[in-house]
Every structure is written in C-alpha cells, then in structure tokens.
Amino acid sequence: MSSTTASTSLAVVTGASSGIGAATARRLAAEGYEVVLTARREERVEALAEELRAAGHAAWARRLDVTDRADVDAFAASLDRCDVLVNNAGGAVGLEPVAEADPADWRAMYEVNVLGVLHLTQALLPRLVASGAGTVLVVSSTAGHGTYEGGGGYVAAKHGAHVLAQTLRLEIVDRPVRVIEIAPGMVRTEEFSLTRFRGDAERAAQVYEGVAEPLTAEDVADTVAWAVTRPPHVNVDLLVLRPRAQASNSKVHRGPVRTDAPGEARGR
C-alpha cells in the first residue's frame, strides 16, 4: 500500500474521517509521518488523504471497520511497516441511566471502544516491534477514569480501553514498543455529541452551552503529536487533558470567566 522509505515513519490513525482522528492525521502528516487514514466512511478519509497529498505529504486512505477482525487483519497484511498506531476510533451512544439503557448500545460501545483497540493492536504489534521503536497510542477519555450519571455504557467501555493500555504496557515492557494513553475531557467536535444523542442537534449543542472554550480536536491532536514525538525511550503513560472550565467529569463552569481573585470579597 505505501511508498515508505526506510527513513519515513508510518502512522496509522483509526477514526480519521472527522474530529480528533482527522486532526491527528493532519498533525502527524505535518510532523513528517507517512499517515494511513482509516475509517468506515471511505470517501471522507480518501478526501482528506488527497488533501494531504496535494500539500506534499505522504498520506493514504483505507476503509476499515475496527470491529471487523478479518477486515483489520487484511489491512495489517497490506502494510509494509507500522511505527505508530493511533487507536482513536470510538464513541458514545446514548445517555440513558443504567436502569433504562439498551444493552445493544452498551455492546456497540464495547465493540468499537475496546475490541476495536484490541483488534488493531494485536494485528499491528508484530510491525510495531519490527520497527524497533513502535508506539501504540490509545485515545481514551476522562470517561475512562471516573463515572457520571447516564455515562454507564461509555464509561465502562472507556475504562476497558484504559485497562487494555495499562495491561499491554506491563506485558510488553521488554519490547521496543511504548503504550501511551491520552484521555481527553470535553472536546467540541462536529460529531461526538451528535452521535451520542442520535442526531438530536439541540441536545448535542447543550453539552457545550455556556462553556467558554471546550477543547478542540486540534488541541487533542497537538497533545497526541507531542507524546508521539518524544524520544522513543520516553513513555507518556497517561495524559489527561480538559478545558480549563472543566474541573472534573461533573464540574463544568458555564458562563463568563470571573476576574475577581478568589478570597477578594473577604478582603484577603
């Protein structure tokens, strides 16, 4: 598939059709990686790969369903090498409480957020080891580190992705492959909340209402690029990033930023 030379590192990005995945593909291309953009929506990744090629980057697109193991294996077999795997494909479906949630939604979230990562990682590990300095990166979520009402299925799945990364890091400590987890909090992308609320644009917009500056896909891509471009012996185990206005999964400031110093009212 690729025209990689011995000196060009190749990065595979899953879920590269929009949001964090697309921003990450752009950013890694700009950093000099040859990038392989994968997603179920082939026309989207093909358009982005074309755009990157027109800008002088080495970029390729491949339709890929990370939940389909045969598809993943065929994809892995088509690659000459792989230096970086960015497991970004994932997402949330629904915000129903545990008592009312549809098990099918939970299953779908487990399939893409956990088994998708497992499939790609298993299939590409031989290439990553052969690279001599491989990186497996998992874009998890702050949902992988704490729960919130209505988040159950997504939180359980993202905890699974976190545990996969942690466990793999233990198991391959003697191999030249590092395992990085980037856990973003509130990121305003065009699709995350729209998918969660099954296309209800009004509900999706409410998630970010009044929040001064939610993170952008580019903010996360910047962090991914920073972690990936550290020297190979430096492993950023886990990096949690949130917008300044979000102090925890359930504490978000909505409204203007206060400019009075804390304690000022009491004369301190």
Q: Which residues in this chain contact ligand 8X3 in the complex, by CB under 6 A?
A: 141-143, 151, 154, 185-186, 249
Is the CB of 113 or the CB of 121 nearer to ligand 8X3?
113
Q: Per DSSP, what are the bridge partners of residue 85?
A: 12, 136
Is the CB of 38 or the CB of 193 nearer to ligand 8X3?
193
Residue 16 near residue 59, CB atoms below 8 Å: no
What is the CA angle 204-184-92, rounded to 5?
45
Q: Which residues contact 11 (CB under 8 A, 6 or more apart)?
A: 25, 28, 33, 34, 35, 36, 82, 83, 84, 85, 86, 228
Looking at this protein, which amino acid is placed at residue 124?
L
- Classify burial at 263, counting beta carbons within 10 Å of its beta carbon; exposed 0-12, middle 13-18, buried 19 or more: exposed
Is the CB of 67 or the CB of 141 nearer to ligand 8X3?
141
Whole-number Å distance between alpha carbons of 152 and 232: 36
Is the CB of 12 or the CB of 186 nearer to ligand 8X3?
186
User: Minimum distance between the CB of residue 187 and ligand 8X3, rounded to whole angstroms?
Assistant: 7
For residue 58, give Cα distances in angstroms to 2, 26, 73, 137.
9, 11, 23, 21
Catalytic residue, candidates 33, 110, 148, 154? 154
User: Minimum distance between the CB of residue 34 and ligand 8X3, rounded to whole angstroms?
Assistant: 28
154 belongs to the catalytic site: yes
User: Minimum distance between the CB of residue 183 and ligand 8X3, rounded to whole angstroms?
Assistant: 8
Is the CB of 195 or the CB of 235 nearer to ligand 8X3?
195
> How many Cβ atoms sit within 10 Å of the Cβ of residue 103?
8
User: Minimum distance between the CB of residue 185 and ligand 8X3, rounded to whole angstroms?
Assistant: 6
What is the CA angle 224-230-233, rounded to 5?
125
User: Minimum distance between the CB of residue 227 and ligand 8X3, rounded to whole angstroms?
Assistant: 17
- Catalytic positions, written as ranges: 154
